[in-house]
Homo-oligomer: A and B are copies of this chain.
Amino acid sequence: MTAQDDRDVRPSVTTGPVKGSTKVHVDVPDPAREGRVLRVPQRRVGLSDGTHIDLYDTSGPYTDPSETIDPHAGLPRLRDEWIQDRAPVNGAVTQAAYARAGVITPEMRFAAAREGVEPEFVRSEVALGRAVIPANRRHPESEPMVIGKNFLVKINANIGNSAVTSSVAEEVEKMVWATRWGADTIMDLSTGRRIHETREWILRNSPVPLGTVPIYQALERVGGDPAALSWEVYRDTVIEQAEQGVDYMTVHAGVLLRYVPLTARRVTGIVSRGGSIMAAWCLAHHRESFLYTHFEELCEILRAYDVTFSLGDGLRPGSVADANDEAQFAELRTLGELTHVARAHDVQVMIEGPGHVPMHKIAENVRLEEELCGEAPFYTLGPLATDIAPGYDHITSAIGAAQIAWHGTAMLCYVTPKEHLGLPDRDDVKTGVITYKLAAHSADLAKGHPKAQERDDALSRARFEFRWQDQFHLALDPETAQSFHDETLPAEPAKTAHFCSMCGPKFCSMRISHDVRRFAEDNGLSTVEAIERGMREKAAEFADGGKRVYLPLAEGEAH
């Protein structure tokens, strides 16, 4: 970290609790280490009736006022001891290797506590390869989490500078900012100057797993000419990044030479950066991709650090016209093949997915991925359900993301309003994260996750009972919720008013609903009994009269 970097980073990291929340820790005993506990963070929302709701917390020490935050020192090395304490199994130190050997690691225990499930369940899902815990041994600062279709749906936020814009300090703050609002992992997609330094700052300060696409840095090393890439340059880049602590790496090893012509007649060709770089390399040399031919060596490197593969979809569709085409599914078949190779090396694997897919073609993507890739966690970018709304692609993609997650996608890569148009700024990052949290949460609800429903019900009860502050505090974005409310009814008394600006006092359905309940209570009976008794009397009269006021008529019949 140079003096120049110091200047960049110092001033801008956001700290302090999210409005209405406090940081709490659940102490989980660690049977492997007598008398020691794992301190699992949660975000507690206190409600005005004295109860509270505890939420999954991705924000790390930044939201804990009792922590001293110093980006120069980095975060506490939470996992150092756990990592040092354990010996390899079958020559491997990966979570997959431990899981298959029947060992429940502290990482599994920690992740299980966050999910509200038994540690053994996390172990068995990881052993099957149906879940991954991206946790490089060289990134001990991260708070372990699990990605898999039988857990809460996760979201990733991309950050990173390009040759055109952005500084190191901005990117570190974007990481902190994104995890504050709920990003479960971060990908650093930097392609500009100082890739290594940017990543170092992010890793040492990131409480969540970090992913990268090593081909970007490899390309910088060879001056930006894809044809000049080689296995050796790529391998050295991967080792450098693994040494730094990158938790998962996107590897476009499924872009085979023979698949490239399948993209020639597409509306939008190849839209993955990594995919296009590898396609260009294959064509220039007329040789099979070095990522494919050297895949086992890559497995050995990743295994040594427990870096998780995120097998990239270099041929993903960039428009709804190209969705589910031959190129896309040919690559997916190859990713399935590589998944089994990686698993044989005890390396954890996720599979990346599209992109742009119209709604009726979404389910097929999950079905095929599960079939071909042995249920390895699916990790999709959206998908966008239509191409026609640049500026609103966080929304077009949330429509696809919520559905694909419901069908079984384990992690969603966010899309911001700037998609296709520019690089996201801090506001865009927040909008993207909140949008993807709500998409992921919608999927958790549809999948029947009991913890998910609890938060909806708490917020809806607060809404119905005019507990405005509780409603704001339970919202994904308390600040925006309150500021929108205050635009029309800013006065403090309005926060306790039993109506709001939408309808005014006379037309408030919720107030009338309460009157309905009170009406019954005033008659000395509980609401339901009172009304039901009346109903029975009324129903008796009604039945005498022929049961229906109107009988359905056949169409066109005179009446």
Contacts and interface: CB of A to CB of B under 8 A. Distances in A.
B276 A396 contact: no
Contacts of A501: 162, 164-165, 422-423
A377 interface: no
A263 B509 CA distance: 13
Given A267-B464, A488-B165, A500-B422, A261 B528 contact: yes
Interface string A208-242: 00000000100100001010000000000000000
Nearest to A385: B442
A359 B403 contact: yes
Contacts of A516: 260, 263-264, 269-270, 276, 279-280, 283
B535 A261 contact: yes
B280 A226 contact: no
Copies of this chain, tallied across the complex: 2
Interface stretch (A4-12, A196-204, A431-439): A431-439
Interface of chain A, main secondary structure: helix
Contacts of A422: 484-485, 487-489, 500-502
Contacts of A420: 463, 471, 502
Contacts of A3: none
Given A422-B484, A502-B422, A506-B219, A392 B340 contact: no
A388 B559 contact: no
A421 B500 contact: yes
A510 B445 contact: no
B392 A434 contact: yes
A552 B341 contact: yes
A27 interface: no
A504 B257 contact: no
B396 A395 contact: no
Contacts of A268: 460-461, 463-464, 510, 513
Given A387-B459, A392-B476, 14 more contacts: A162-B504, A264-B527, A267-B461, A280-B515, A320-B445, A321-B457, A337-B552, A344-B556, A385-B402, A388-B456, A390-B472, A418-B484, A422-B502, A423-B488
The 3 closest A-B pairs by CB, nearest first: A269-B513, A319-B460, A163-B504
